[in-house]
Structure 1
Amino acid sequence: MPHGKSDDHRPSQAGKQSSLTPMAADMKPHFRQNLVLIHRWLGLTMAGFLLLAGCTGAVLAWNEELDHWLNPELFYSKAPTAAARPLDPLLLRQNVAQAFPDAQANTVPLAQEAGRSVIFWLSGRMQADGTLSEPANDQIFVDPYSGRIQGARHWGDISQGKQNLIPFIYRLHYSLALGDWAGTVFGIIALLWTVDCFAGAWLTFPAPQRKNAAALPTKAGKSWRQRWAVSWKIRRGGGSYKLIFDWHRAASLWLWAMLLVLAWSSVSFNLPAVYKPVMQALFASQPEPGLQAAVRPGGQAPKLGWDAARTRGRALMTALAARKGFVILEEDDLSYDARSGLYSFSTRSSLDVSRRWGSTLVYFDGDSGTERGAWLPTTEASGDTIRSWLTSLHMAAIGGLPYKLFIMLLGLVVGSLSVTGVAIWWRKRRGRQSQARARQQQSLTLQDAEQG
């Protein structure tokens, strides 16, 4: 989010010539002054949040690597023999369901990586009052060769120790680890950040030239583009304040597009009530069958068992790929939504942006197996294509190691922009206070002289 004015702390250019009409020349400065105020107070409001989000985001660029390194006993499973083959994921699900009878394992990961455990996510069961119970642990790690439960944790609960350090940092990143209400606050901050991206960018543009430009001959005759070029540079030998100001402005400009990606994608994660209506008004989107289906009575099991559902999902996905012309790269997961009574079968396909997960989905009825819809990550609807790219860019799910390094550095830049923004405001505030004291002292001196 670009910050700061093109002419930073230099005197007003009231003496410059202008091709603006008198009304335009009068309106432009007021518009700019209002943007300065908006940028200043939005920046101060967001500073602490973005400092935290930037620094934790830099760590989370390596989310999986760090989590695996800290908790090898959870994530790694050694094959007993060279010829050993993993058990069927649906059999592993049965083991999990038996080991945790008070919870539900309604998602089965179908992709298996050699030497890695299989991870199941648990949800609570419906209670008599219509609420879901809270399982003691919601992330279960299973040895794919023996079916043994090799570990469990309640994701993000730091009281469980180092096994939840990285998930806890993740919770800090998007909600201060304080729950849904704090996640909504972060969503509002992300929305303010999105607005500030455009306000800050405008303030990097050169201020309008006015009459009597001869008063500042060093800038006379420079084009708008030449004057704007200053905003992209960091001056040398100008002291600490100029260095801070130039870094704040230039770094924001060079990285403006990615800062906007981070801001707007954060709105999509934390404030969907704003993101969805805006995007649906501007771009085409696909319906989401899971959200449109009628709610089934609680506790009613589907007639299609998990084996039959996987077979049906594979058949529907193969037919969908033939109709839409994409290639299935690997199966991702099979899920059942008890609320809607729908299964979803997910694959990673040639339409997916992310390299880490699959978002090519087909939905079908849990009783009859009838297809209820599909969702494609790209090509089908422009709004969903944008959403897929925003999510993958934000979560470093593309580009491999180079992009992870870039996202890590970008997180540090976001933190630095918050710190330098506050430093610039504090320096200017002290300057204004000093000027006010000087004017007051001058006024008192004049009064004393008149009285004397």
Structure 2
Amino acid sequence: MRRSKRVAVQVHLWLGLVVGLLWSLQGLTGATLVFHRELDRWVHSEWRGGPGLPLPADQLIAIAEKSSGRPVTALGILDAGRDLRTATYTDASGMQNMLLLDASSGVIVGQRQPQPVRPSDGSTSRFVYMIHQKLVSGHSGEVVIGLSGCLLLLTAILGLWIAWPRRGNWRSLIIPRGWRTLSQKLYSWHRLAGLAFGIVFVFVAIGGIYMTFADPIRKGLGEVIDLQSPYEPAPSTASSQWLAAQTAVNVAARLFPDAQFVRLAMPTKDKPVYIVRLRQPGEVRAWSGATAVTLDAVKGDVLQIQDGLRGPLADRILDAQFSIHNGEAAGLLGRLLIMLAGLSLPTFYLTGLWLWFRKRWLRAVKRAQSGQSPRGALMSAMGRKQT
């Protein structure tokens, strides 16, 4: 084996042993989240809206503010079902909360926290999402997850290089003719499954890294390629009345008549603008879209348009990372593939760990047979000096 490949094997091995448990957690939570919206609907049978047309945004916001006693900061759809609206507000303790309203009647059908620290604070899937995104540890946990994604990308690339068969050897890899012992079977499965899922891990890791470090990545790329930066409004000093929320939604709908409403971010004194998020037919994001219209909250002037279909190519590629990460870019088959890839991560970790311990145990047995004490043999096999 060439020296470069021996180094690659050691890096791949030790990254897997050291970070593999975290990757296993990420894989299991990620696999769960692939269908979390459908699971939420199944678990919470009360989360159902009526078949009628949605009420105006201002009316839904007024209902939510009367119930919560707090100003609503955003109004959006819960999922692709579009029969429920979410009204987000910040409570007196500074914690974000979300009311779920029947879009056609305004009846409140549920409540949850978007960023729960316990499963009881909202839907269990949101808690799983917080584990997957930031280990329920705020920004520091998010950085750890982002860095682990960088290491996963490295180990996936190394694994593909290590496992790639020489020309003409693919048949022996696929047909388990030489898989005799348990170790051979586990190693061959580890290698074959790694080749099958390795490229998936590469794309998943890239998407996860981007979503974790989106701001610095976009800032850096914006220096060298054409990227559309978010509109940065000046803080408001006037006491003017905000434009009606439904008016902002209507303006966006006129600009994109075929698009569906996704979310409305409410204006504040620091950011006196409405941001209406839409999804156009044909966008990669299955239900949340990447089209947005920013309007002056007082005059109603359109300040910026982000077109999810016709914007700069780099923007569209970056916006697609979420859909690639969770598989929805490739429909149901893509989501199933991502789920299987996530479930495979703990299996990779366990098989790799077992093979590592097995190899060292066999070395210890061999040294013991040659006259070295069993304890000394085991310590030597583990790479430690006897004291």
Per the TM superposition, whether the score is higher than 0.5 is yes
The question of 1:177 aligning with 2:150 is answered no
TM-superposed CA distance for 1:400, in Å, is: 4.2
Is the contact made by 2:236 and 2:272 (CA closer than 8 Å) also made in structure 1? Answer: no
Residue in 2 that maps onto 1:311: 250
TM-superposed CA distance for 1:69, in Å, is: 1.4
Q: Can you list the C-alpha shifts for 1:148-191, whole angstroms capped at 9, x where unaligned?
A: 32321223537563952222222222222233321211111001
1:62 to 25, 31, 35: 35
Is the contact made by 1:111 and 1:331 (CA closer than 8 Å) also made in structure 2? Answer: no
Is the contact made by 1:332 and 1:358 (CA closer than 8 Å) also made in structure 2? Answer: yes
TM-score by length of 2: 0.83
Residue in 1 that maps onto 2:296: 365
TM-superposed CA distance for 1:112, in Å, is: 9.5
Which 10-residue stretch deviates more, 377-386 or 432-441?
Answer: 432-441
TM-superposed CA distance for 1:93, in Å, is: 0.9
Residue in 2 that maps onto 1:243: 185
Is the contact made by 1:267 and 1:275 (CA closer than 8 Å) also made in structure 2? Answer: no
- Equivalent residues in 2 for 1:6-85 (5 A)? 29-73=2-46, 75-78=47-50, 85=53
Q: Which of structures 1 and 2 has the bigger CA Rg?
A: 1
Could you tell me which amino acid in structure 2 is paired with residue 429 of structure 1? R
Could you tell me which amino acid in structure 1 is paired with residue 38 of structure 2? E
Could you tell me which amino acid in structure 2 is paired with residue 313 of structure 1? A
Is the contact made by 1:71 and 1:163 (CA closer than 8 Å) also made in structure 2? Answer: no
Cα distance, 1:305–1:88 mapped onto 2, change above 3 Å: closer
Is the contact made by 2:280 and 2:289 (CA closer than 8 Å) also made in structure 1? Answer: yes
Residue in 2 that maps onto 1:254: 196
Could you tell me which amino acid in structure 2 is paired with residue 77 of structure 1? G
Secondary structure of the residue aligned to 1:358 is coil
- Equivalent residues in 2 for 1:100-179 (5 A)? 100-102=68-70, 104-109=71-76, 116-123=83-90, 134-135=94-95, 138-155=97-114, 157=116, 159=118, 161=120, 164-179=123-138
Residue in 1 that maps onto 2:379: none
TM-superposed CA distance for 1:62, in Å, is: 1.6
Unaligned regions of 5+ residues in structure 1, if any? 1-11, 13-28, 126-132, 207-223, 319-326, 445-452
Cα distance, 1:244–1:142 mapped onto 2, change above 3 Å: same
Q: Can you list the C-alpha shifts for 1:429-452, whole angstroms capped at 9, x where unaligned?
A: 33444455566739x9xxxxxxxx
Residue in 2 that maps onto 1:187: 146
2:265 to 335, 341, 345: 335
Residue in 2 that maps onto 1:354: 285
For the residues of structure 2 that align with 1:70 and 1:110, how far apart are their CA atoms? 18
Cα distance, 1:88–1:274 mapped onto 2, change above 3 Å: closer
Which 10-residue stretch deviates more, 244-253 or 306-315?
Answer: 306-315
Which 10-residue stretch deviates more, 226-235 or 256-265?
Answer: 226-235
Could you tell me which amino acid in structure 2 is paired with residue 45 of structure 1? V
Which 10-residue stretch deviates more, 233-242 or 155-164?
Answer: 155-164
Could you tell me which amino acid in structure 2 is paired with residue 53 of structure 1? Q
Unaligned regions of 5+ residues in structure 2, if any? 377-387
Cα distance, 1:164–1:251 mapped onto 2, change above 3 Å: same
Is the contact made by 1:313 and 1:344 (CA closer than 8 Å) also made in structure 2? Answer: no
TM-score by length of 1: 0.72
Residue in 2 that maps onto 1:265: 207
The question of 1:89 aligning with 2:45 is answered no
Secondary structure of the residue aligned to 1:55 is helix
Is the contact made by 1:279 and 1:383 (CA closer than 8 Å) also made in structure 2? Answer: no
TM-superposed CA distance for 1:48, in Å, is: 0.8
Which 10-residue stretch deviates more, 368-377 or 354-363?
Answer: 368-377
Cα distance, 1:407–1:300 mapped onto 2, change above 3 Å: farther
For the residues of structure 1 that align with 2:358 and 2:372, how far apart are their CA atoms? 21
Cα distance, 1:393–1:382 mapped onto 2, change above 3 Å: same
Could you tell me which amino acid in structure 2 is paired with residue 389 of structure 1? A
Aligned residues: 373
TM-superposed CA distance for 1:297, in Å, is: 5.6
Which 10-residue stretch deviates more, 306-315 or 404-413?
Answer: 306-315
The question of 1:386 aligning with 2:317 is answered yes
The question of 1:225 aligning with 2:167 is answered yes
Residue in 2 that maps onto 1:406: 337
Secondary structure of the residue aligned to 2:123 is helix
Cα distance, 1:187–1:408 mapped onto 2, change above 3 Å: same
Is the contact made by 2:34 and 2:326 (CA closer than 8 Å) also made in structure 1? Answer: yes
Is the contact made by 2:57 and 2:245 (CA closer than 8 Å) also made in structure 1? Answer: no
Is the contact made by 2:77 and 2:84 (CA closer than 8 Å) also made in structure 1? Answer: no
RMSD across aligned C-alpha pairs, in angstroms?
Answer: 3.3
Could you tell me which amino acid in structure 2 is paired with residue 245 of structure 1? Y
**Structure showing greater relative contact order (alpha-carbon pairs closer than 8 Å, 6 or more residues apart):** 1
